[in-house]
Amino acid sequence: MNKVVLVTGANSGIGLALCERLLTQDTEGVQLCLACRNMQRAQAARSALLASHPTAQVALLQMDTSSITSVFKAAQEIKLRYNRLDYLYLNAGIMPNPQFDVTAFFKGLFSRKIITMFATGEGILTQTDRITPDGRQEVFATNLFGHFLLIRELEPILCHAGRTSQLIWTSSSNAHRSAFNLEDIQHQKGTQPYSSSKYASDLLSLALNTHYNKQGLYSSVICPGFVMTNLTYRILPSFPAFLWTLLMPIFWLIRVFTNMFTLTPYNGAEALFWLFQQKPESLDPYAKYHSLTSALSNNYTQPQKMDIDLETSEALYEKLLQLESEERRKVKEKQKPSQHFHSNRAGPLSS
């Protein structure tokens, strides 16, 4: 039977590389759905995939994970198209207006943390977040909350007796407990919304396992390593392309010291692809699965224990459920006929 696979943020970078790898492994056995906010870029990605796999089944779906209405609408559409979903890759993500802290970088260069700094960006990246039209912090909404609502909406086609489905989050090694605050899950007050959102996805994955494993739904998180994609190029937007090219040999050299410099989207998608082939029951809910590339350019996946705990993961889950109820209430309010409409109707009837 075909595996139905939906990938968010599939029109570029790691998401697109995953799609390419899935089709290369089994063109006929996979039914792909690319869920993207920009349909022009999605169409280009679909054409590229079909160029190398002409017989593949590749569908497109418009979805902006930062918009509640868009997520609900997309979920309805998915439920109309598919009666089951085997894999849901929660990959769309943003790191808006990243600022590179040069002072912290040079300090890091001469400290013991040098490798960690290069591998995880810890301490050297801050971002300026903004508010979505729904009134939520954009990074939280895009990277975490939109995906959470999508899972909740797709529950009927993700949970089926007698078979398993997988949720697979593209997290990051930049997910730090220190950036996350349970009293401020949207990260309204800090300067590291990206790190906070990724830490929250690690926590949420654990909670999803607690609540859904009995129904056959399993959740895992991966880190793709440091990959050259649109997201990373935006860290230094004024950097001309040729300087990135000049930096590449240095990046290759760093790979001798850290296998987290996966660099290409193909390598970065290693753990996403590896998880596709695993029995979800055999996976560790406390592990983050890392895409790694050795100095000799061999790709492999390695689990590492996450710095998460059940209590915090449950507390976050509860808060997300509360936010979900708020959003559902708002949607209902919008759908209610207005007072004005009622009084107009009441008029002729009462006369």
Ligand X SMILES: NC(=O)c1ccc[n+]([C@@H]2O[C@H](COP(=O)([O-])OP(=O)(O)OC[C@H]3O[C@@H](n4cnc5c(N)ncnc54)[C@H](OP(=O)(O)O)[C@@H]3O)[C@@H](O)[C@H]2O)c1
Residue numbers annotated as active site: 194
153 near ligand X, judged by CB under 6 A: no
CA gap 97, 248 in Å, rounded: 23
Angle at 49 between CA 151 and CA 228, to 5 degrees: 75
66 near ligand X, judged by CB under 6 A: yes
230 near ligand X, judged by CB under 6 A: yes
123 near ligand X, judged by CB under 6 A: no
94 near ligand X, judged by CB under 6 A: yes
Beta-bridged to residue 292, according to DSSP, are 300
> Using CB under 6 A, which of 31, 165, 170, 220 touches ligand X?
170
> Using CB under 6 A, which of 32, 74, 89, 91 touches ligand X?
91
Beta-bridged to residue 4, according to DSSP, are 31
CA gap 162, 40 in Å, rounded: 39
Interaxial angle between packed helices 146-158 and 193-212, expressed in degrees from 0 to 180 and rounded to the nearest 10 = 20
- The closest of 291, 292, 300, 297 to 252, measured between CA atoms, is 297
Sequence-distant (6+) residues with CB within 8 A of 204 are 144, 148, 169, 219, 313, 316, 317, 320
- Give min distance, CB of 340 to ligand X, in A: 34
> Using CB under 6 A, which of 108, 193, 224, 285 touches ligand X?
224
Sequence-distant (6+) residues with CB within 8 A of 185 are 140, 196, 200, 316, 319, 320
How many residues sit close enough to ligand X to count as binding (CB under 6 A)?
29
- Give min distance, CB of 3 to ligand X, in A: 21
From 20-28, 60-68, 81-89, 325-333, give the range in contact with ligand X by CB under 6 A: 60-68
- The closest of 180, 151, 178, 174 to 224, measured between CA atoms, is 174
Helical H segments across 9-120, by residue range: 13-25, 39-52, 68-81, 102-109, 114-120
Of 36 and 124, nearer to ligand X (C-beta) is 36
Of 235 and 321, nearer to ligand X (C-beta) is 235
208 near ligand X, judged by CB under 6 A: no
93 near ligand X, judged by CB under 6 A: yes
64 near ligand X, judged by CB under 6 A: yes
CA gap 297, 100 in Å, rounded: 28
Determine the residue type at 150: L
Angle at 19 between CA 14 and CA 24, to 5 degrees: 120
Of 95 and 207, nearer to ligand X (C-beta) is 95
- Give min distance, CB of 327 to ligand X, in A: 16
71 near ligand X, judged by CB under 6 A: no
At 132, give phi and psi (nearest 5°).
Answer: -80, 165
Q: Which residues of 71-81 are buried (b: 16+ CB within 10 A; e: fewer)?
A: bbbbbeebeee
Of 85 and 94, nearer to ligand X (C-beta) is 94
> Using CB under 6 A, which of 154, 157, 227, 306 touches ligand X?
227
Of 230 and 344, nearer to ligand X (C-beta) is 230
> Using CB under 6 A, which of 199, 226, 273, 276 touches ligand X?
226
Of 207 and 227, nearer to ligand X (C-beta) is 227
- Give min distance, CB of 338 to ligand X, in A: 30
Positions that interact with ligand X (CB under 6 A): 8-9, 11-15, 36-38, 41, 63-66, 91-94, 142, 170, 172, 224, 226-227, 229-232
